[in-house]
Amino acid sequence: MLELSDAEIACGSMTDATLAEAARRVREAGYVALDRAVPTEFVAELRTAFDRELTKARDADPAALENSKGHYGVSPLLDAPFLNPLVIENPFAMQVMRATMGERIFSYLPYGCNTSWPGSGVQGLHRDTGHLFPELTTPLPMSLAVVNIPLVDFTEENGATEAWPGSHLIVDPPDVASISLEERVAHMPSVRLTAPVGSLIVRDLRCWHRGMPNRTQTIRTMTALVYFRALHHLPDDANVFRSIPAAVTAKLSEEAQAMYRHHRIEAS
C-alpha cells in the first residue's frame, strides 16, 4: 500500500516522488494500491447506492447470481452518486494512468462493479486482456488499466482478489498453450489485494488474478473502471460505447467529457 501524505490528500495531487513510485509499482508489479485516495464518507454513500442496485438486480434475476458462483455485479446508473468525479476521474488515479499511459487516455460509461456475494466460490484464474501484440516476445507498456475502488474493507475473509505480481510482463509463447494457468502459477508467489475503505487500486489488465471466496455475510463490492491508452484500438464489442443523453454529459466536467469522448451524445 502506497501512503498518501496529508498534504497530497488536501490538494488532491501527488508529489513528483510519490507519483514516480506509484508508476514504478505499476510497471514492475502490475498494480499499485493508494491509501486514503477517496474520502470514506463518500465511499459509504456510494456503497449504499450500489447495495440498493445490486439487491434489485439479484431479486430480478436470482439465477444470474447462482450461475456466476457468487461473483456478480451491475452497471450503475448514469446519475449521482455514481458519476461523482471522485469515481470517474479520481485525481490520484488519473495521475497514475497519465504517467503510465499518456495524456489522452479514454474510458466508457457505465463502468462495472465487481461483487463477491456471501458464499461465493473461487473464480477461474485469468487475465482481463492479453498483450496488444501477442506475437512479440517482449511485453509492451500498459495499454489497458482498471481502477478499483473498494466499497468495504477488502480482507482475505471477504474475498480480496488474489494476484500474481509481474505476471503482466509474461508473454505467452505457443508452446505453453496447452498448460493451464493454474499449473503455471504453482511455483509463483501471489498476493491478496487487501485494502481498507478509502483506498483505490490501479491494475494492468494483463495481470493474472482471480476473485476469492467471501466467507462473511456482507456483500464485498468494488467499482471497476477501465481506461485505454489513446493508441489502443476500440474494444471488440463496440457496443461498450453506448449513447449517453446530453443531460448526463452536461453534468460532467470538461475533463470528464474529454475522457468519455467516444460515446455518441443523444439529443435532448
Q: What is the pLDDT of residues 64-118, one digit of tens each?
A: 888 888 888 888 999 999 999 999 999 999 999 999 999 889 999 999 999 999 9
Angstrom distance (rounded) from CA 189 to CA 25: 17
Average pLDDT rounded to a whole number, residues 52-67: 88
pLDDT at 133: 85
What are the chain's domains?
A: 6-266 (2.60.120.620)
pLDDT tens-digit readout, 198-219: 999 999 999 999 999 999 999 9
pLDDT confidence band for 234 (50 / 70 / 90): low
pLDDT tens-digit readout, 144-179: 999 999 999 999 999 999 999 999 999 877 666 678
pLDDT at 136: 86
pTM listed for this prediction: 0.87
pLDDT at 135: 84
Angstrom distance (rounded) from CA 234 to CA 206: 17
pLDDT at 178: 72
The contacts of residue 151 (CB under 8 Å, 6+ apart) are 43, 46, 47, 50, 197, 221, 222, 223
pLDDT at 237 over 90: no
What is the phi-psi region of residue 204: left when phi exceeds 0, alpha when psi lies from -120 to 50, beta otherwise? beta
pLDDT at 50: 95
Angstrom distance (rounded) from CA 93 to CA 200: 8
Strand (E) or helix (H) holding 24? helix 16-29
Average pLDDT rounded to a whole number, residues 123-127: 91
pLDDT at 262: 84
pLDDT at 125: 92
